[in-house]
Amino acid sequence: MVREAITLVCSECSNRNYRSTRKARATEKLALKKYCRCCRKHTVHKEHKK
């Protein structure tokens, strides 16, 4: 199974806070609710390819 590296970007302040991997054949963009240190709250982080 091939995995590709992705970066998660905060939807409010656009900071790149997290790195993760996912299946290379996945068609949907990944969106997770994670903690943003700059905003100091939990926000939606969306996938941004390297």
Cα–Cα dist 10/23, whole Å:
21
pLDDT (0 to 100) of residue 37: 94
Instruction: Return the CATH class of domain 3-49.
Output: mainly beta
pLDDT at 50 over 90: no
CB atoms within 10 A of CB 18: 15
Helices and strands (H, E) in the chain, number of each type = 0, 4
Nearest CA to 22 among 7, 6, 44?
6
* Confidence band for 21, pLDDT divided at 50, 70 and 90: very high
Half-sphere exposure of 39 (CA within 13 A, CB side): 18
